[in-house]
Chains A and B, each alone.
Chain A
Amino acid sequence: MIGRHLLEVEDLGGAEGIEEVLRLTDSFVEVSERAIPKVPALRGRTVAWLFYEDSTRTRLSFETAAKRLSADTMNFSVGSSSVKKGESLRDTARTIEAMGIDAIVVRHASAGAPHRIAGWVDASVINAGDGWHQHPTQALLDCYTIRQHLGGIAGRHIAIIGDIKHSRVARSDVEAFTALGAEVTLVAPPTLLPPSLDGWPVRVSHDLDAVLPTVDVAYLLRMQRERMTEALLPSLREYTSTYGLTIRRAELLRPDAVVMHPGPMNRGVEIAADVADLPCSLILDQVRNGVAVRMAVLYLLLGAGTSLGATGPTDPSGSPETTQTRAEEATGE
């Protein structure tokens, strides 16, 4: 069962917790398909964005999710705020919280920043990506997308291809995919793998052509050129020729295999322009499902009340005795 914060995949509580989020996501996919895709579930709750790093899809996705749940949203972009005047992360987070915020969605370039914030504030903290560390909602939407198209994740073979070293998506995905029983193979040049893979329940390969015919999912990662501080590759062209999903390589895939990418894509680098638009590409489904998955996460943290017992009452009227009396009075039909 999910707790008060969502900082890493581990917070979801293993396969059971992930499955619970995916089940709830089904309901929110239905909401998103309606003529009026909005429910009053989080009326009166406020969610603030604290984005220290650029983002389009994650931020828009969270914003859409919150609005479809009728929550109020507050934007905080670092560029136009007091952070420029030197305000610390702690002061910024506590200032935002003092305005009566129920949840803070954090993206930060440093691993662990959301964990620190979670220790400083009473609001729920959701990690929307911290450095090379974790991006749990991306892992959830990837799981949901695979489940939607392949019927399930257990027993599937998923190759994660590309810049594993700098990828928080890879770290979260490996945890989530393997928790749900998938086999994961990392495919990357040695320089783009983490220095140690001890304890990672994965196989490693440096030969993409050998792996592709065996996979159900080819998950490509973006070349994170902005995080590459040293010369890890001779050239991008060489990378593309050995590890890029070109049209020629896409033909090696089984007919029922799918291609995924967390975005933003470098077309022509890790994925050929034409491959991204093939029918087997689920890249836009990932974006679409992202909204529903984030609705599920926001609802579980703020509305579902599944953590009411775990973390104690969130408001004075929610103490165990009054809750019980109210439950007696208001037991539905």
Chain B
Amino acid sequence: MAERERRQAPPYGGVFRARTRVMDRSDIQRAVWRMAHEIIEANQGTEDVVLIGLQTGGVPVAVALAEALTSIDQAEVEVGSLDVAFYRDDIGLRPVLPEAVTDIPWDLDGRVVVLCDDVLFTGRTIRAALNALADYGRPRAVQLAVMIDRGHRELPIRPDYVGKNLPTRRDEVVDVNSDGVDLGEMVR
């Protein structure tokens, strides 16, 4: 789970308590392989495709997808990372600090960017990411891959590739980690 989410899910300063294991390690691996196949199908291969993981939770998702794409398509796929702090719409309302430095060392003009994140929730992070991408060039297309779509969208944003659709309550917290995906809540 991103440090940001840990800090900002009520009750503040609490710790995450897992209630249900939603996916285990092999479920994630299967979902990654399926999503990789879907990316290849939708783009007729991996030419021009770059994966950009959103800091911090999306980066391991992007890396896992890249490994799968490489072994399926036998071609190297570039992976970058993006921190959207400076593009968020809640600057001034709450503490907003970047968690890592953005790493997009190539020109995005004409490329197909697959944004990768762990959990899709309100859609506000993706909105910020779309604005940020525009400052790096003009991609031919931007697609969205997420491990978990938990609903509660506040903006007209939908994912192209989903690991798992997970209906949640607003006050629940989804934690995607290297062992699997847990559903739970923050407790004092």
Contact = CB atoms under 8 A, between A and B. Distances in A.
A332 B83 contact: no
Contact of B86 (A39, A327, A332): A39
Interface string B121-142: 1111110000110011100000
A197 interface: no
Contacts of B93: 305, 318, 323, 326-327, 330
Nearest to A69: B86
Most buried by B among A30, A306, A333: A333
B98 A27 contact: yes
Contact of B94 (A35, A39, A69, A305): A305
Residues of A in contact with B, size category? 20 to 34
Given A27-B101, A30-B101, A305-B96, A332 B122 contact: yes
Contacts of B137: 35
B4 interface: yes
Nearest to B150: A333
B95 interface: yes
A332 B124 contact: yes
B117 interface: yes
A27 B102 contact: yes
B21 interface: no
A42 B85 CA distance: 12
B102 to A, nearest CB: 5
Given A24-B97, A27-B98, A306-B97, A333 B121 contact: yes
Interface string A5-35: 0000000000000000000101101110011
A328 B10 contact: yes
Contacts of A323: 93-94
Contacts of A202: none
B5 interface: yes
Contacts of A35: 107, 135-137
Interface in B81-95: 83, 85-88, 90-95
B119 interface: yes
Interface of B: 4-5, 8-10, 12, 83, 85-88, 90-98, 101-103, 107, 117, 119-126, 131-132, 135-137, 150, 154, 170-171
Given A306-B95, A330-B90, 18 more contacts: A30-B101, A35-B136, A35-B137, A39-B87, A39-B132, A41-B86, A304-B91, A304-B97, A306-B97, A323-B94, A326-B94, A327-B94, A331-B9, A331-B121, A332-B90, A332-B122, A333-B5, A333-B122
